[in-house]
Amino acid sequence: MTFLTFILRSLRWKILLDSPKDLEIQKYISTTHIGYFLNNILPFRAGDLARAKLLSNNSNNVKFSFLVGSLVAEKIIDLWIVGFFSIFLILFGFNNVLGLEFSIGILLLYIITTFIIFGNNSLANKMQKHFSITKNFLDGYLLVSKNKIKLGGISILLWFLFVTYMYTLLKSVNIDLPLQQYFGITIITSIVTSLPIAPAAIGTYHLAVIYFLSLYGIEIDQSQTAAIILHSVFLMYTVIFGYIYLSFEKIELKSLINDNKN
């Protein structure tokens, strides 16, 4: 399931970029794995920048700043999907899954990302006209408003895989929750892991899982076990496969910051 999520992430990025002809899907898969690997060993989600740098090194047609903008667009899509699922939880009376304050915050986030994706982005267009240095970055950022149906379909499928991952591993430690609560814990942990607080979200992810499960009467020992397993499976996958893909690229980490191409 984790491998499938990386395939879908890579495919979504390819569609988001409108598929530059000199970049095959394998390059997206490779750079996505390497980016997540570096996110797990470097602070401030620096792997995302490395991910953009690696892909730009494989193409003469896309700039680094353009790819960074596209990754911001990708995060906006993810936040919109988080809001989308949260809306369903709240509308069907499951606001207790997220809590009132958290639900309000998610709703505001959903409204903001909806305006960005479906609005006219006039502010971004004005910035491009007045600050030419932002042009490539904003071109990548504005990709969020294109191919909405394809990007939305892949993103929803991706999030169902996340929920399935959560369901499978929690079941393996004998934690049985109603369906809406699997969505709830997926939403909360996804937001926590997207924050550039600590490499691999160590500690913050575990705290989020333990806190959420404690709300539904799961004992501390069992919730700690679940947090460690949920985090470790994904961490081990990204470290092992990310390092393998990095080896295939035949580059050293320091070369990512010493290249003056961009």
Across the chain, what does the average pLDDT equal?
A: 83
CA 208 vs CA 189, 224, 226: distances in Å: 6, 10, 11
pLDDT digits (tens, 9 = 90+) for 214-246: 888 899 999 999 999 999 999 999 999 999 998
Q: Which of 5-19, 135-149, 154-168 has the lowest mean pLDDT?
A: 135-149
Residue 51's alpha-carbon distances to 13, 28, 34, 120, 151, in angstroms, are: 11, 9, 7, 28, 19
For residues 255 and 185, the model is more confident at 185
90-104, 133-147, 180-194: least confidently modelled range? 90-104
Question: What's the pLDDT band for 4 if we cut at 50, 70, 90?
Answer: very high
Residues 160 and 168: beta-carbon distance below 8 Å? no
Contact yes or no for 204/118 (Cβ under 8 A): no
H or E segment and range at residue 258:
helix 255-258
Q: Burial letters for 131-165: b for 16+ Cβ neighbours within 10 Å, e otherwise?
A: eeebbbbbbbbbbbbebeeebbebbeebbebbbeb
In tens, the pLDDT along 65-87 reads 888 889 988 988 988 888 888 88
20-28: which pairs have CB atoms within 8 A and are 24 or more residues apart?
A: 20/59, 20/61, 20/62, 21/61, 22/58, 22/59, 22/60, 22/61, 23/55, 23/58, 23/59, 23/62, 27/55, 27/58, 28/55
Comparing 68-72, 109-113, 131-135, 184-188, the range with the smallest average pLDDT is 131-135
pLDDT computed for residue 83 by the predictor: 85
Confidence tier at 253 by pLDDT (50, 70, 90)? low
Q: Name the more confident of 109 and 16.
A: 16
pLDDT at residue 201 is higher than 80: yes
**Cα separation, 92 vs 77, whole angstroms:** 23
pLDDT given for residue 11 in this prediction: 93
> Percent of the chain beyond pLDDT 70?
85
Would you state the pLDDT for residue 188?
85
Say if residue 262's pLDDT is above 50.
no
Q: Which residue has the higher pLDDT, 12 or 47?
A: 12
Residue 157 has pLDDT above 90, yes or no: yes
